[in-house]
Chain A
Amino acid sequence: EAGVTQFPSHSVIEKGQTVTLRCDPISGHDNLYWYRRVMGKEIKFLLHFVKESKQDESGMPNNRFLAERTGGTYSTLKVQPAELEDSGVYFCASSQGLSPLHFGNGTRLTVT
């Protein structure tokens, strides 16, 4: 079974630019989560999809962040325009039902 895959693995952009991160969950997993780890801090929840619907987006920091999950398959997280404080590692995770989360390797975003 293929795991959760994320693309790109690294992204370096300038402040004010736009970046789109992609996550492909494990096939058949209805739950898809985005988390972020900023340097020196804990991994923090951003949002949760159940299929194509946003179940909980309470962790989204502001309206510069837009997440979508078209057709309930892969998900994208767009940051527009990026700010310096957006730098960190963005993790995607998926699960089915109440099973534990499976994480991807993350996308390391650096905003300069």
Chain B
Amino acid sequence: QKEVEQNSGPLSVPEGAIASLNCTYSDRGSQSFFWYRQYSGKSPELIMSIYSNGDKEDGRFTAQLNKASQYVSLLIRDSQPSDSATYLCAVIFSGNTPLVFGKGTRLSVIA
């Protein structure tokens, strides 16, 4: 069974702080990892993709991947109230298999 696990939260951080969102997955051979942000009633929006071990930075967002530990995280620096949303971790386990989502972590940034 291919699974993606996330803490559902809510995760509350003060404005300006670093928010750290974590995700683990079940298949060591997985290749592609994504973070989506979803505001209430809206579509999931891709914010980061990562394919190899290490860090990938894009503006205030940093994705970190550790395939040996089967762990992927998302750091949001200088968190803003507008970052308050549900963050979905998603994994393509292999080849042409469909994207598998975690349940999402609800982030609340307090002004």
Q: How many residues of A contact B (CB 8 A)?
A: 21
Name the segment of A12-20, A70-78, A79-87, A99-107 touching the other chain. A99-107
Q: Is the pair B103, A42 in contact by a Cβ cutoff of 8 Å?
A: yes
Shortest C-beta distance, B46 to chain A (Å), equals 5
Q: Is the pair A91, B43 in contact by a Cβ cutoff of 8 Å?
A: yes
Contact string against A for B residues 19-50, beta-carbon threshold 8 Å, 1 for contact and 0 otherwise: 00000000000000010100001111110010
Q: Is the pair A105, B4 in contact by a Cβ cutoff of 8 Å?
A: no
Q: Give the CA-CA distance A90 to B42 in the complex, in Å.
A: 12
Shortest C-beta distance, A108 to chain B (Å), equals 8
Interface residues on B, range: 20 to 34
- Give the residue among B44, B101, B102, B104 with the most A Cβ atoms within 10 A: B44
Q: Give the CA-CA distance A33 to B98 in the complex, in Å.
A: 9
User: Does B96 belong to the interface (CB within 8 Å)?
Assistant: yes
User: Does B99 belong to the interface (CB within 8 Å)?
Assistant: yes
Minimum CB distance partner of B97 in chain A? A56
Q: Is the pair B44, A42 in contact by a Cβ cutoff of 8 Å?
A: no
Contacts of A59 on B, CB cut-off 8 Å? Answer: 98
Q: Give the CA-CA distance A35 to B49 in the complex, in Å.
A: 20
Contacts of A42 on B, CB cut-off 8 Å? Answer: 4, 101-104
Q: Is the pair A103, B45 in contact by a Cβ cutoff of 8 Å?
A: yes
Sample of 27 A–B contacts (CB below 8 Å): A3-B43, A4-B43, A33-B98, A33-B99, A42-B4, A42-B101, A42-B102, A42-B104, A43-B101, A44-B101, A45-B99, A45-B100, A55-B96, A56-B96, A91-B43, A91-B44, A100-B34, A100-B46, A101-B46, A101-B99, A102-B46, A103-B36, A103-B43, A103-B44, A104-B43, A105-B43, A106-B43
Interface residues of A (CB under 8 A from B): 3-4, 33, 35, 41-45, 48, 55-56, 59, 91, 100-106
